[in-house]
Copies of this chain bind each other. A is one copy, B any other.
């Protein structure tokens, strides 16, 4: 297949850019976006960069009725000498295709879309903020567009990539948070869609999130849907435990999202000679280790925060205070290393970063 030509239609307006220290999360968008269409006869066609503008869809478009959609989230960072860097973007496009498979959405050509993303970011380079901790958030997503109420895969789709400058996740550095262990609601179950990045998984979590907030928690710790015992994820992050010198993260059970931060941390720990295991870990095992005083550090991992230290768990009225509400040494070191690599300040011996310009 020959590569399709990217059409570029420039916006004749330039929106004002927010100050680096006052960027709200996820509500400011750049001047342009990437769009590409699919239909069963032509495949993916018409890749184009156009002004950021509203979408027009039939009210019967399948996305509104049966939720056939997938998305990704990654970031562009500004490094030394105005270089703009991406962190393992090929992993995001690979995961997008894995998610699409689960949702019966046709795959994209990962390399081609990656090239189009580079073009889009080059065009929007002034939107990548400079201050440490800030970045340009990149949201690729695919939606089913066929106007039809039959419960079946759509014959047409739209892939879009929108960009949003985002501030630091933690203003004033890392800060350990309190987590509520959820014993009632379920995020995902084996055989379901938990391993896919698809819309329905996220709104399904709102009620548990509201419950956590009411009880003073910042996020939800999800247990498996079958036995309500094994730890899965925290909020929209993967989770790691340092117990008695060993680092443990829940194995990919079929209901957990395979995080790119998670993957990178496992590689780093292996290189650093720190024992790291992917295996089942139950909430009872955690509590027992806590009672024995051997839980050293706990942290969530994901593109948004990179590392989010856990200071405390609430579980059925019981409290587990982790590392005296302090940031652990390993958490800090992982945070510094990964954010350093992302901004080109730490040598990237893994070839994780991709230079856009």
Contact = CB atoms under 8 A, between A and B. Distances in A.
A233 to B, nearest CB: 13
Interface string A57-87: 1111101111111010000000000000000
B60 A26 contact: yes
Which of the four size classes fits the interface of chain A?
35 or more
A206 B103 contact: yes
Contacts of A29: 59-60, 147
A193 B67 CA distance: 13
A210 B71 contact: no
Interface stretch (A136-144, A286-294, A322-330): A136-144
A152 interface: yes
A190 B235 CA distance: 19
A189 B188 CA distance: 8
A56 B54 contact: yes
Interface string A142-157: 0110011111110000
Contacts of A189: 186, 189, 192, 225-226
B71 A65 contact: yes
A210 B148 contact: no
Contacts of A205: 151
Given A27-B148, A189-B192, A65 B200 contact: no
Interface in A116-150: 137, 139, 141, 143-144, 147-150
A200 B193 contact: yes
Interface string A8-52: 000000000000000001110100010000000000000000001
The 3 closest A-B pairs by CB, nearest first: A200-B200, A26-B149, A67-B199
19 contacts: A25-B150, A26-B60, A52-B59, A54-B56, A63-B64, A64-B69, A65-B139, A65-B199, A66-B203, A67-B69, A67-B203, A67-B204, A152-B206, A184-B191, A189-B192, A189-B226, A193-B200, A199-B199, A225-B226
